[in-house]
Homo-oligomer: A and B are copies of this chain.
């Protein structure tokens, strides 16, 4: 547009925190987004690429040439590079690896080798280490020489000559203790430590449980290799919550708000296809009973109630179990009491709501047996829903799959087909 306006916008962007620029980029449709991206000073590209969502990052990277990407990547620390690397074109990544020194290349390669859900993938290398045989006064002098500490430094890591971790020295202990004391006497030896192969989600739980800000990561020989910080953990918690929400709704991954129609269709088609198949199966179950429906057409109107309420109730149970699995509260020793409880809830709900809906059916169609069939079908389908609501997530968990993903579709498939079968089957036996 007007050149003057662009200059003003550019000045405003320069004053903003990278996270705020990222936020603006995410809220803009593609064309305007790229216009704004052009205005951002090249030396901030790296930081901002780290802050935007995966989907938006891809649109920005697609707009940059190899040299720009390399320049952006060179502004970043090794652990930040590891976050960015999967989105970079292969040749840029290779150039980048070549440009690093041996230590950082080894770090980046090892960071990339950990799976997404391992502690190794969220750790960083901004560690400040000291020896245990020095006094606090010497430690403080050493830090003043450093002139600055990495973000989130709430503790120093105490290691020996071989980098083996002996303890941690919290800054808040450092500043209140006697300056003549030795590090060894003030440090804490029972700090929470992680290994790079530990599951990141377990580390996140430890951060929440023990209120940590940073924690050291050591390899199998006890050598300090990195640290985990609370901001990485917070990102992880937020991402996990979002991915659960997305996958429960049948979205494969995070979607750029302004993605093209075609990209969105690709993101959503898989679950729609599964849903189509389960709906088709339910339809064939109804097809079995077309003869009965021809005779009593009211069955067609009533059957979706049995299926729908069953699905809702089954999803309540599944959500409870998925949550219990995530918190580690569901185990083999209490499975029996859980199933018994859920069946009890289902029986009570079935008799209660089945009774109500049976009475409505009687009122609408004036058939006492129809009301009874309705009530029985409802109760049986809720019992089926409860059983499946417990068993499906537990089975998914046992075979090593995320119990949140697709549980809802599977439950609904069961309660639809099952509900139609139970209701139409009972009706065929007792009413026809």
A interface list, Cβ under 8 A from B? 17, 19-20, 23, 26-27, 29, 140, 143-144, 146-149, 151-154, 171-172, 174-178, 207-211, 213, 230-231, 233-235, 237-238, 240-242, 244-246, 248-251, 255, 257-259, 261-262, 264-265, 268-269, 271-273, 275-276, 278-280, 282-284, 286-287, 290, 293-294, 297-305, 307-309, 312-313, 315-316, 318-320, 323-324, 327-331, 334, 337-338, 341, 344-345, 348-349, 352-353, 356-357, 360, 364, 409, 412, 416, 420
Contact = CB atoms under 8 A, between A and B. Distances in A.
A171 to B, nearest CB: 5
A304 B269 contact: no
Q: How many copies of the polypeptide does the oligomer hold?
A: 2
A241 B242 CA distance: 8
B230 A312 contact: no
B312 A283 contact: no
B304 A416 contact: yes
A148 to B, nearest CB: 6
A210 B409 CA distance: 38
| Interface core residue of A140, A278, A280, A328 (most chain B CB under 10 Å) | A280
Contact of A290 (B242, B258, B301, B315): B301
17 contacts: A174-B175, A175-B175, A245-B245, A245-B319, A261-B341, A261-B344, A268-B345, A272-B349, A280-B305, A283-B305, A286-B304, A287-B298, A287-B364, A293-B297, A294-B297, A300-B303, A308-B412
A345 B264 contact: yes
Given A27-B334, A248-B248, 5 more contacts: A262-B348, A265-B349, A279-B309, A290-B301, A312-B409
B275 A309 contact: yes
Chain A interface helix/strand/loop/mixed: helix
Contacts of A143: 175-176
A62 to B, nearest CB: 19
Nearest to A246: B319
Contacts of A261: 341, 344-345, 348
A255 B319 CA distance: 11
A359 B348 CA distance: 43
Nearest to A344: B261
| Interface core residue of A20, A299, A313, A319 (most chain B CB under 10 Å) | A319
Given A271-B312, A300-B290, A176 B152 contact: no
